[in-house]
């Protein structure tokens, strides 16, 4: 089954070999250091900054080597803004995944207040996250950030209740979703434009990326569920935009935001990692095995089935690692670690074009192009490289 964490439209991330031939344009050392020396210099400095004892330093060297390569690759592929995204790349072993965490107080009880829209309008501090189709409103200059609208903006004042939803309190301030369409572009603030989250996410502050992921997931669900699946009548938006209820009084079915659970798993045989690739991915990219959970399956069942279908490998010793909202359009990635027998034979199947075993040394040397650094797959791989993988 298609691995939802990696889609063909994803912007390619350069591999280590790309970096060796094309140093990042934002690197202040690029004029006086050769690429490889630059990488080694970064690596040494980052290891030093991490501190710790000799044992910890050896582990950090492996972890930092991966991070430095990802950081440089990000700079190559995205622009100088990529350096703003370095913050989250240093969280391989701790903290929430990108798009997750306590970036907002949802305050869900406020959705039950009938005057939710009037309260937002009366509060001049209220922030409005604007969406148009699958895109969200952002500024690119001087640095990528959300282009919030405010209560006095003509598009906000003219909006109907159906265009709005209460998201919660972001950085302590009430925050709303406002759905616009292409005809509204002319009225947008100067410099603001709609952009796909997949393209801009890694460049945003992590809490803003989380907020846009939330807004994207909610708005796509609302836009794609307009009629009752039971009787076909139109759906009405209720509870501050978070519930859709059938307008047919004889039916009255309520619909709640749809989320599609998918497993993603780092499989090892003790010494090597099992990674696969789809034909549509950028050349050389390999990632952890992933797939959607099916009806009647537990998450663990899905791990066993997906790995067997895609690679022919039987796994055991399954442990939960972490999860990540992935609103492209509605996935929740549930990350696991699992073991298999040493030297297990691979039989490629399912959606994969190839699957291979990789040692830490091979990955560290760039033998596999890694997934985007804000993805849970990257975190699962980097955790294993760092030696903190649960065996």
Query: Footprint of Zn ion on this chain (CB under 5 A)?
Result: 228, 230-231, 233, 246, 248, 251, 253
Least distance to Zn ion, CB of residue 245, Å: 9
Nearer to Zn ion, 41 or 230 (CB): 230
Least distance to Zn ion, CB of residue 242, Å: 18
Nearer to Zn ion, 79 or 248 (CB): 248
Least distance to Zn ion, CB of residue 87, Å: 46
Nearer to Zn ion, 233 or 259 (CB): 233
Least distance to Zn ion, CB of residue 226, Å: 12
How far, in whole angstroms, is CA 361 from its chain's centroid?
27
Nearer to Zn ion, 113 or 236 (CB): 236
Nearer to Zn ion, 254 or 353 (CB): 254
Least distance to Zn ion, CB of residue 17, Å: 56
Nearer to Zn ion, 252 or 349 (CB): 252
CA atoms of 337 and 382, how far apart (whole Å): 12
What are the CA-CA distances from residue 372 to residues 105, 330, 352, 387 (Å)? 28, 18, 18, 20
Nearer to Zn ion, 191 or 232 (CB): 232
Nearer to Zn ion, 52 or 232 (CB): 232
**Burial label, 33 (beta-carbon count in 10 A; 0-12, 13-18, 19+):** middle
Query: Which CB contacts under 8 angstroms, 24+ apart, belong to 300-303?
Result: 300/336, 302/263, 303/263, 303/265, 303/336, 303/338
CA atoms of 7 and 188, how far apart (whole Å): 30
Least distance to Zn ion, CB of residue 43, Å: 60
What are the CA-CA distances from residue 366 to residues 134, 287, 360, 370 (Å)? 34, 13, 10, 8
**Burial label, 376 (beta-carbon count in 10 A; 0-12, 13-18, 19+):** buried
CA atoms of 270 and 5, how far apart (whole Å): 25
Q: Tell which residue, 97, 95, 91, 79, has the closest CA to residue 5.
A: 97
Least distance to Zn ion, CB of residue 203, Å: 42
CA atoms of 194 and 208, how far apart (whole Å): 15
């Amino acid at each position: 089954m298609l691995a939802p964490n990696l889609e063909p439209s994803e912007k390619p991330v350069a591999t280590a070999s790309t970096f060796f031939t094309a140093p990042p344009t934002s690197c202040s050392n690029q004029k006086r250091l050769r690429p490889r020396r630059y990488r080694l210099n970064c690596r040494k400095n980052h290891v030093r900054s991490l501190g710790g004892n000799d044992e910890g330093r050896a582990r950090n060297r492996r972890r930092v080597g991966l991070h430095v390569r990802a950081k440089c690759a990000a700079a190559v592929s995205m622009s100088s803004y990529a350096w703003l995204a370095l913050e989250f790349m240093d969280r391989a072993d701790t903290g929430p995944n990108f798009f997750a965490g306590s970036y907002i107080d949802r305050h869900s009880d406020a959705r039950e207040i009938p005057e939710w829209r009037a309260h937002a309008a009366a509060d001049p501090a209220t922030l409005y996250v604007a969406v148009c189709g699958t895109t969200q409103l952002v500024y690119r200059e001087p640095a990528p950030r959300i282009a919030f609208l405010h209560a006095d903006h003509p598009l906000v004042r003219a909006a109907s209740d159906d265009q709005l939803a209460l998201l919660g309190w972001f950085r302590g301030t009430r925050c709303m979703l406002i759905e616009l369409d292409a005809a509204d572009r002319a009225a947008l603030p100067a410099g603001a434009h709609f952009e796909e989250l997949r393209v801009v996410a890694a460049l945003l502050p992590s809490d803003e990326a989380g907020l846009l992921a939330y807004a994207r997931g909610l708005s796509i669900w609302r836009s794609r569920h307009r009629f009752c699946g039971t009787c076909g009548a139109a759906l009405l938006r209720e509870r501050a935009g978070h519930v859709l209820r059938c307008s047919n009084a004889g039916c009255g079915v309520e619909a709640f935001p749809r989320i599609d659970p998918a497993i993603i798993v780092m499989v090892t045989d003790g010494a090597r990692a099992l990674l696969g690739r789809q034909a549509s991915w950028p050349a050389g990219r390999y990632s952890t095995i992933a797939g959607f959970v099916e009806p009647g399956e537990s998450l663990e069942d899905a791990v066993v089935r997906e790995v067997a279908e895609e690679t022919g490998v039987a796994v055991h010793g399954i442990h939960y690692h972490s999860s990540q909202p992935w609103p492209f359009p509605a996935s929740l990635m549930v990350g696991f670690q699992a073991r298999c027998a040493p030297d297990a034979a691979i039989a490629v199947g399912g959606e994969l074009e190839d699957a291979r075993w990789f040692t830490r040394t091979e990955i560290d040397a760039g033998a596999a192009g890694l997934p985007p650094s804000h993805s849970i797959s990257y975190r699962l791989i980097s955790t294993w490289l760092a030696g903190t993988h649960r065996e």
